[in-house]
Amino acid sequence: MTIQENISLKAYNTFGIDANARFFVEITQVEDLQKLINEPIYKEQEKFILGGGSNVLLTQDFDGLVVKINIPGIEVIEENEDTVWVKAGAGENWHQFVLHCIALEYGGIENLSLIPGTVGAAPMQNIGAYGVEIQDIFESLEAVHLITGALKHFTHEECQFGYRESIFKNTLKGKYIITHVTFKLSKQAQINSSYGAIEETLKILRTKDGYQTRPAIQEVSDAVIHIRQSKLPDPKEIGNAGSFFKNPVVEAGKFEDLQQQYPQMPGYNLPDGTVKVPAGWLIEQCGWKGKRVGNTGVHSKQALVLVNHGNAQGKEVWDLAMQIKASVWEKFGVEISPEVNII
């Protein structure tokens, strides 16, 4: 464990923003993290915990200590005829972890293919896609308290999951570092292909020679990957953090009023009677899709994605985001909020 000074974070965030960290350290095991907590430099400095850097916008240099979590490892800790519990280190690449589970025919996780980031960040954000969220397959996690260094076990209930939310983004924000996550997966998977264009994509992919021999969860994963690649830009080619905004949730009455004005407005009814509205549709209706503003802009295929066209400063991206937010409010009276963490 070596604490470095004046390190560029450009390679550590998918937006490709060139911001510097005054101090930087990589953690590969829990014991090193607990040791770090007792170091004077840790106690004296402001801290920023960094995972895969795929859900963060750096708007300025960080005058403190960046702790990069790279704890590895994947193991089966329990299984029976129908279910398997898989524990993974927080530093594992999320998509590679998904592919690992699919290769072993552990189901329930396939709809979350190709989401960027790390295993440790997944429950914090309660990541979700195509009808599945982390909370649907989550069993428990372990996290280190950032003052005492104590390792605590969190159950599903204790994580207080919500839409792109968890207790680690609210009450316990900045108080714990997640080190390991355990998932409850199925050996007798029931595939979920009803969301979005999965069924349509499956029909296309199944026409390929030999495709019929693949496991069903592999088919769904391939379909999700195909859809995501067709809509979302590769951060290696153009800087971005995926979906920048959360889909807003509005009261049913509000949605009905909006649909009278905008009959084409899509919405998804939620169990509590509210309606989730696609933020991408709202942004596109405001004319932002494909628009470039200086070094930044909105992706031409997906209005939810803000991009760095090259050499953009984080503040430029944030200013654009605020312009988009204001225009959606002015047109629809709906508030959209960033899904990305702003530093």
DSSP codes joined into one string, 245-297: BPPPEE-HHHHHHHHHH-TT---EE-TTS-EE--HHHHHHHTT-TT-EETTEE
CA 152 – CA 155 distance, rounded (Å)? 10
CA dihedral 88, 90, 93, 99 (to 10 degrees): 20
**Comparing C-alpha atoms, which of 124, 171, 128 is closest to residue 270?**
128
Determine how β-strand 275-276 pairs with β-strand 249-250: antiparallel
Element (H, E) at 27: strand 20-27
- Whole-angstrom distance, CA of residue 10 vs CA of residue 138: 31
Q: Phi then psi for 222, rounded to 5 degrees?
A: -60, -40
CB atoms closer than 10 angstroms to residue 190: 9
CB 16 within 8 A of CB 10: yes
Handedness of CA 328, 329, 332, 336 (dihedral sign): positive
Rounded CA gap, 116 and 337, in Å? Answer: 20
For residue 53, give both structure tokens.
Answer: 């850097």
Q: Report residue 99: phi and psi, to 5°.
A: -65, -35
Catalytic annotation, pick one of 133, 219, 243, 316: 243
Q: Are 25 and 8 in contact (CB under 8 A)?
A: no
Residues linked to residue 87 through DSSP beta bridges, in sequence order: 75, 182
To the query of whether residue 339 is one of the catalytic residues in this protein, the response is: yes
> Catalytic annotation on 243?
yes
| Helices 94-103, 216-231: crossing angle, 10 deg rounding | 150
Active-site residue (options: 133, 164, 166, 228):
164
Q: Indicate which residues carry an active-site annotation.
A: 164, 243, 339
